[in-house]
Amino acid sequence: MRYVVIGSSAAGVNGVRELRKKDPEAEITLISKDKAIYSRCILHQYLSGHRSLERLCFAEPDFEDLYKVNWVKGVEVTGLDREAQEVILENGERTGYDKLLIATGSHTFIPPIKGLAGAKNFIGFRNIDDIEVLKEVPKKCSHIVVLGSGLVGIDCTTGYLDMGVKVTLVDFAGWLLNRQLDERAAQTYIDLFNEHGIEQHYGVGVSEVIQNEEGNITNVILTDGTDLECDFFVITAGVRSNVEFLQDSGLELSKFGLVYDETGKTNDDNIYGAGDVSGLSPIWPVAVKEGMIAASNMAGVPAKMTDFFASKSTMSFLGVNTMSLGMVTPPEDDDSYQVETYEKGDVYKKIVHKDGVIVGALLQGDLAYGGVLQQLIARKIDVRRVKKPIFEVDYSDFFHIADENYEFYYADR
Ligand SMILES: Cc1cc2nc3c(=O)[nH]c(=O)nc-3n(C[C@H](O)[C@H](O)[C@H](O)COP(=O)(O)OP(=O)(O)OC[C@H]3O[C@@H](n4cnc5c(N)ncnc54)[C@H](O)[C@@H]3O)c2cc1C
């Protein structure tokens, strides 16, 4: 069997590992634009100098030998010939496959901002090459504006803060990490950023950038009229799936990205997809799991994606840890959701449930409760059955051991 995997990140690398496990004799080729294996989640530590390139790598040092994989690195796949079962490389060469895994992830979306076209001093924050540029920026620039306060924008901001560089943060959303946090949890970080001298503008977009004659941005104009001095502009306002090379392939694409089912299979029986390329759940654990599941199915061992929560993030910024799970802010016009909160000092906890089923949660300042929470979710416990305040539940309340067979059971059964 000849397997080809495109993409050497979370989904692709774990796909290769799983293929080798399930099919020891197969021929495996990995093709990637990336020349190295690295975790994008810790790129900010490379920016700040707290990690070397080697320490960003999440694969074994002898990955290629260990998994007997032919890794074609630094090469872009530019086309797909499904009839011939071949991928087409940028140099025109072709590589044949019996089964193909597309794990090409996504790229930074550059919004159509007035005045931005042709500017030299802006970049995204996604690939190692971006970070190489951003490392040099503070040597020449002192007014860095970061557009976007999602996980990526905040990584960029804190990476720079660790270097002693203060940026200005701009986001259309009302508060930072808008997808992961509610306003209360976000305020903790907003206050901390203020204390560290980070200028922040929320609820406003960028209406225009001003370029000088050399093609450098000098000012960023916000939709409320604020004029920000700017000598480098970092754009982290969303991503788009890397599916350009599939446009004429006949593979089904949605407006978000590559379409595949819970086994990873696309509308071609020999082609699978995994990770950010779907444009649906752009987080690391989903990419890893989808890569493994697709690979297992490619090797003939059935597996399905069954995760309940498409979004789970654990973050640590400026010494404050937060875990965010699922829907943390229920829709305003829907009173079928119930919300439980707990606040004491720096600790904030919140559970959102509907018909007794937890659909979202936030833990800030004390993640120890995460263990109980995961049990509540994994065991599908109806939180309405819990007799005491939900945040006082601990393992000893909830799980008891039946004397006769030493099995765990719930105290309220
Ligand atoms: C700064 C940053 C911080 C993040 N922090 C978190 C976090 O804290 N928690 C979390 O869960 N997630 C985080 N994420 C998201 C997480 O990194 C992604 O979900 C994950 O990397 C997706 O993995 P993937 O394998 O699907 O794609 P990617 O990581 O995007 O990798 C795609 C691979 O495909 C290759 N490729 C693309 N196109 C081609 C082509 N045409 N030909 C050949 N090769 C190609 C690329 O070179 C790359 O190797 C973060 C992302 C960023 C950028």
Q: Is the CB of 125 under 6 A from ligand 1?
A: yes
Q: Is the CB of 152 under 6 A from ligand 1?
A: yes
| Shortest-distance Cα residue to atom 38 of ligand 1 | 104
Q: Is the CB of 253 under 6 A from ligand 1?
A: no
List the domain boundaries for the chain: 2-107+240-298, 122-237, 327-409
Q: Do domains 2-107+240-298 and 122-237 have the same CATH topology?
A: yes
Question: Is pLDDT above 50 for 172?
Answer: yes
The pLDDT tens digits for 242-266 are 999 999 999 999 999 999 999 999 9
Return the ligand 1 atom nearest residue 286 CA: 19
Please report which confidence band the pLDDT of residue 34 belongs to, taking 50, 70 and 90 as the band edges.
Answer: very high
Residue with tokens 């979202």: 360
Average pLDDT of the chain to the nearest whole number: 92
Please report which confidence band the pLDDT of residue 400 belongs to, taking 50, 70 and 90 as the band edges.
Answer: low
Return the ligand 1 atom nearest residue 106 CA: 30
Return the ligand 1 atom nearest residue 8 CA: 49
343 Cα to the center of ligand 1, angstroms: 35
Is CATH 2.60.120.10 what the domain over 2-107+240-298 is classified as, yes or no?
Answer: no
The pLDDT tens digits for 229-238 are 999 999 999 9
Question: Is pLDDT above 70 for 409?
Answer: no
Instruction: Give the pLDDT mean for 162-179.
Output: 96
Buried b (16+ CB within 10 A) or exposed e, 42-54: bbbbbbbeebeee
Question: Is pLDDT above 80 for 411?
Answer: no
The pLDDT tens digits for 274-308 are 999 999 988 898 999 999 999 999 999 999 997 64
Give how far the C-alpha of residue 302 lies from the chain's centroid of Cα atoms, to the nearest Å: 26
Return the ligand 1 atom nearest residue 75 CA: 43
Q: What is the dihedral of CA 204, 208, 213, 219, to 10 degrees?
A: -20
The verdict on pTM exceeding 0.75 is: yes
Structure tokens at 378: 């994994």
Q: Rounded to 5 degrees, what are φ and ψ at 289?
A: -65, -45
Question: Is pLDDT above 60 for 321?
Answer: yes
Task: Report percent pLDDT > 90 for the chain.
Answer: 81
39 Cα to the center of ligand 1, angstroms: 8
Report CA-CA distances (Å) from 131 to 44, 49, 106, 124. 8, 11, 16, 9
387 Cα to the center of ligand 1, angstroms: 43
Q: Is the CB of 76 under 6 A from ligand 1?
A: yes
What CATH code would you report for 327-409? 3.30.390
State residue 309's pLDDT score: 54
Which homologous superfamily does the CATH classification assign to the domain defined by 122-237?
A: FAD/NAD(P)-binding domain (3.50.50.60)
